[in-house]
Structure 1
Amino acid sequence: MHKKNIQTAGKSLKEAKKALIMIHGRGADARDILGLASHFKVAEYALLAPEATNNTWYPYSFLAKPEENEPWLSSALGLLKDMVDDIIEQGIPAGNIYFLGFSQGACLTLEFVTRHAQKFGGVAAFTGGLIGDKINLENYSGDFNGTPIFIGTGNPDPHVPIERVHDSVHILTEMNAKVYLQVHEGRPHTISPDEVEEANRVIFK
């Protein structure tokens, strides 16, 4: 199971008016994803990055049958729920909680917020989509109430098919998210400067 191993940076939760949960990809760690913060307009935010046990949130592809990724997937989703609850208890409302994830972390980010849709501050998902061999609409409920969600991806991407990205965008939009999608043709599995610029423009403004 994932332990509550959370690295922090930026302002403290007591000082900050906004919090950003940053979720690393497979094989990376909390410090890696916190290292991206300097590229985003988050100097006044409390930054929190959970770290996955053995540096992976779930063992198989996000397109595997969900039961194949258990119990790790449920543990990861539960950890994020605990983090959100803790941040709200510290006095920062959900409307000022933001999320950023890359690759496996982007998939986990999108899966979590869509299972708990409400008015969040914003979401930046760099190369990700909703999780499962097929999308199970029964998992998702709530109303994003205009939450801005940025998704950037390459096409083709070795891990995230563009079809799953488009299907995810459709569901998020149906749940009243304001989705901004950027597709970069032929781009490798990375975060591009264009994506950083757009995320700053629509999410971290």
Structure 2
Amino acid sequence: MQTSLSLQHLIRKPAVISKETPLLIMLHGYGSDENDLFSFAEELPGELLILSVRATYPMQPYGNAWYAIHWDNTNGKFSDDKQAIESRDRIANFIDEAVEEYGVDRNNVNLLGFSQGSILSYAVALSYPEKVRNIIALSGYINQEILKPGYENKDFSNLDFYCSHGSQDQVIPVEWARKNKPFLEKLGIKNQYSEFPVGHGVAPQNFFEFKSWLEKRI
């Protein structure tokens, strides 16, 4: 576990790190931790420097969250958008720290997020498009309430999204995820959307599809 930067993280280094090394930052979901997505690391391209980050809010008895979810809200789930915005900006700051600390290519920063981590990947990329390039957004949706005001006037020409969702997802309704593609296309952002016949998780064919997608872009 690396603790020298503002967010704790696990790291997988390539054989050689240079100014051309692409960076991949992993953002886990609600109630999980940095070990979750890191299980993908060994199967991903060897040239990547991979950092799997722990979310900022510890939960009991274990796990972490990027922001609180109030399950007893009358409308079902209710996100603490204030905490989500704080986490959005922490992640954006962490990107700068990581590029500086590890000496990698600041023009080739990639995000991989699941669930809450996916929601924040959308928020970081749409609020700070100059900081990232490729985004793998698994089982998440775009929460417009946590996007930076004026985001729609940003330059999104560098961005490319791979979005996927389980058609049987019982945590985040697939109907929410189906809004992502038209939202991104309205902003002129390159994207791909796939659905898989699973619940709130990543099917093997989902993994191989986003792996292939990423290999072509880094």
Q: Same fold judged by TM-score > 0.5?
A: yes
Task: Give deviations 1:53-108, integer Å, cap 9, x for gaps.
Answer: 2101111179966xx51442122112111112223435434431000011111111
The percent of aligned pairs where both chains have the same amino acid is: 22
Q: 2:9 aligns with which of 4, 7, 10?
A: 7
TM-score (norm 1): 0.82
Residue 61 (structure 2) pairs with residue 59 (structure 1): no
Structure 1 equivalent of residue 107 of structure 2: 95
Matches of 1:98 and 1:131 in 2, distance apart? Answer: 20
Instruction: Determine which structure has greater relative contact order: mean sequence separation of CA pairs < 8 Å that are 6+ residues apart, divided by chain length.
Output: 1
Residue 177 (structure 2) pairs with residue 165 (structure 1): yes
Structure 2 equivalent of residue 20 of structure 1: 24
TM-score (norm 2): 0.77
Structure 2: state its 5+ residue gaps: 59-63
> Structure 1 residues 5 and 89, CA, compared in 2 at 3 Å: closer, same or farther?
closer
Q: 2:35 aligns with which of 14, 31, 36?
A: 31
Q: 2:141 aligns with which of 111, 129, 134?
A: 129
> Structure 1 residues 135 and 112, CA, compared in 2 at 3 Å: closer, same or farther?
closer
Secondary structure of the residue that 2:129 maps to in structure 1? Answer: coil
Query: Which aligned runs of 4 or more in structure 1 are off by greater than 4 angstroms?
Result: 61-65, 134-139
Aligned residues: 197
Matches of 1:181 and 1:61 in 2, distance apart? Answer: 29
> Structure 1 residues 184 and 70, CA, compared in 2 at 3 Å: closer, same or farther?
closer
Matches of 1:61 and 1:130 in 2, distance apart? Answer: 18
Q: State which drifts further: 143-152 or 18-27.
A: 143-152
Residue 54 (structure 2) pairs with residue 40 (structure 1): no
Matches of 2:124 and 2:77 in 1, distance apart? Answer: 17
Deviation at 1:146, TM superposition (A): 4.8
Q: State which drifts further: 123-132 or 170-179.
A: 170-179
> Structure 1 residues 57 and 27, CA, compared in 2 at 3 Å: closer, same or farther?
same
Structure 1 equivalent of residue 52 of structure 2: 49
Alpha-carbon contact 1:94-1:121 (below 8 Å) kept: no
Structure 1: state its 5+ residue gaps: none
